Structure 1
């Protein structure tokens, strides 16, 4: 799917020297070779990456931090809904919001010294959350698959507009394709509702 292609394109761009793709065609061929599970992808990267190194001690330390955080309750499922950009547990639209965010949550990487895409002074994932919440406050039905299955590039560009009004969210066309793809599936197979 275009979603996987976009994720792999971003990933491979980060593996190449100077973060430049040799060609999208090469990346597309590489992406089409196989759809690997996360474990298989990790193994492939470890065996083949020339410009990426896995810090085993860092992984061990992170695992321990997560375990300690769970034990001390610093990391808790409730923390998700307590964040200002996340929906509250009693929000009936929360599952559709999460599904939309998960669909769009890929590759916010900015090359070199280019201006980062920011919404409410946030970057990356939280910038996406802020943009979606702003759209909802503006009356845009962005979490509705019927809406986003036909969303235009211009509409998504407006929804994801940056604080400075000039910097665009990365990979807008790929994000539109992802929304069309998952929106149509939700409409056709799940009566336009993620919870179904």
Structure 2
């Protein structure tokens, strides 16, 4: 566990950290008996959709509403999207912020897409560093005007801050950050941590420093997905890939439904009866995040083992690409996109609310 410079974002550090959190957690636990069942469900899904196996294993599942752009602006709008992707929910029984009928992450994609189609250069720091609050409110306006997106003042401040960094140090484009990182995922992670405060997602648990870096990891995976076939191929060590399930933090809600995550009686009651958001860095919030990531990693390892067995038994061609963490992330996110956003089937399960700029 790193106690020194947190910009050392080695994936194994986080892997060890989530194990530590699981061992010491008081209110959240992982039901390891359910890991194998969910892994079997993932493999069953893959076998039933064998024609898309390699796609599920090598591409990032994202909403069809992802903003569309040319490759000249792709890195910049991805940077803006992930920079703004935090605290998109209001507590239960409150009206939710929605764009084109969708809440949360997909709503944010819709809002940025709408701005793009309206000719607003939302990807350009020359534009968003001069943006006023009323202009940002217009870009992020909900379907019927209320409620406004949570933490609007913080979103404006952060856009101004990150834009100034790009203008002063990176020629006004996030592409220069990729070039400075030599198109290397680990170096880009370090750059994001060092240069942009809202990407420094680090906390302390039992005196141990933990770098979750949710937004940074999600942005880096998206950059890799878009640029892995480009002339300057973006390098990512997929064998050390850590889950980016917190692209949507309804994932713990899904893991609870699948009986993988378990909460203590008192904590479950608190989530059910209280509208007070958890604090970033609080013990309960860290335990949810740590145990969720631990579970996702365990599911991945079990899926990998099952796939290798199928190949060995000649029930699956050995031409399939080596299993990556993307398989599990895509499976879980597909469930979220299909079942939660379309019919609110997860609504009855505990959802933790958080007010933070970090995810």
Relative to the length of structure 1, the TM-score reads 0.66
CA distance in 2, matches of 1:175, 1:41: 29
Give structure 1 stretches of 5+ with no counterpart.
1-33
Which of 152, 176, 195 is the aligned partner of 2:132? Answer: 152
How far, CA to CA, are the matches of 2:139 and 2:166 in structure 1? 21
For 2:106, the equivalent position in structure 1 comes to 126
**Map of 1:164 onto structure 2:** 144
Rounded to whole Å, the distance in 2 between the matches of 1:146 and 1:41 is 39
Larger Rg belongs to: 2
Q: Which has the higher contact order (CA 8 A, sep 6+)?
A: 2
**Residue of structure 2 equivalent to 1:109:** 89
**1:181 to partner: Cα distance:** 1.4
Q: Distance in 2 between matches of 1:188 and 1:64?
A: 49
Task: Specify the alignment match of 1:100 in structure 2.
Answer: 80
User: Following the alignment from structure 2 to structure 1, what is the Cα–Cα distance between the partners of residues 131 and 33?
Assistant: 44
Distance 2:130 2:64 in 1: 30
TM-score norm. by structure 2 comes to 0.39
Superposition RMSD on alpha carbons, in Å?
3.4
Q: SS in structure 2 opposite 1:182?
A: helix
Paired position in structure 1 for 2:66: 85
Provide the residue aligned with 2:175 in structure 1. Answer: 195
SS for the counterpart of 2:81 is: helix
Q: How has the CA–CA distance of structure 1 residues 44 and 192 changed in structure 2, closer, same or farther, with 3 Å as cutoff?
A: farther
Establish whether residue 72 from structure 1 lines up as the match of residue 49 from structure 2: no
Distance (whole Å) between structure 2 residues aligned to residue 185 and residue 63 of structure 1: 46
- Displacement of 1:55 after TM fit? 4.5
Contact 2:65 2:110 in 1 (8 A): no
Among 108, 115, 122, the residue aligned to 1:135: 115
Q: Between Structure 1 and Structure 2, how many residues are aligned? A: 161
CA separation of 1:35 and 1:176: change in aligned 2, threshold 3 A: farther
Cα distance 1:148–1:97, how it changes in 2: closer, same or farther (>3 A)?
same
Match of 2:29 in 1: 53
Provide the secondary structure at the position in 2 that maps to 1:53: strand
Q: How far did residue 42 of structure 1 move? A: 3.7
For residues 35 and 80 of structure 2, the distance between their equivalents in structure 1, rounded to whole angstroms, comes to 29
5+ unaligned residues in a row in structure 2: which ranges?
A: 177-359
Distance 2:74 2:148 in 1: 26
- In structure 2, do the counterparts of structure 1 residues 183 and 116 end up closer, same or farther at CA, with 3 Å as the change threshold? same
Q: What SS is found at the alignment partner of 1:173?
A: helix
Deviation at 1:78, TM superposition (A): 7.0
Distance 1:95 1:116, change over 3 A: same
Q: Distance in 1 between matches of 2:42 and 2:164?
A: 40
Distance of aligned partners of 1:140 and 1:56 in 2 relative to their CA distance in 1, 3 Å threshold: farther
Which structure has greater strand proportion? Answer: 2
1:159-178 Cα distance to aligned partner (Å, 9 max, x none) = 11001211111111111121
Could you tell me how far apart the structure 2 residues matched to 1:148 and 1:108 are?
20
Cα distance 1:77–1:155, how it changes in 2: closer, same or farther (>3 A)?
same
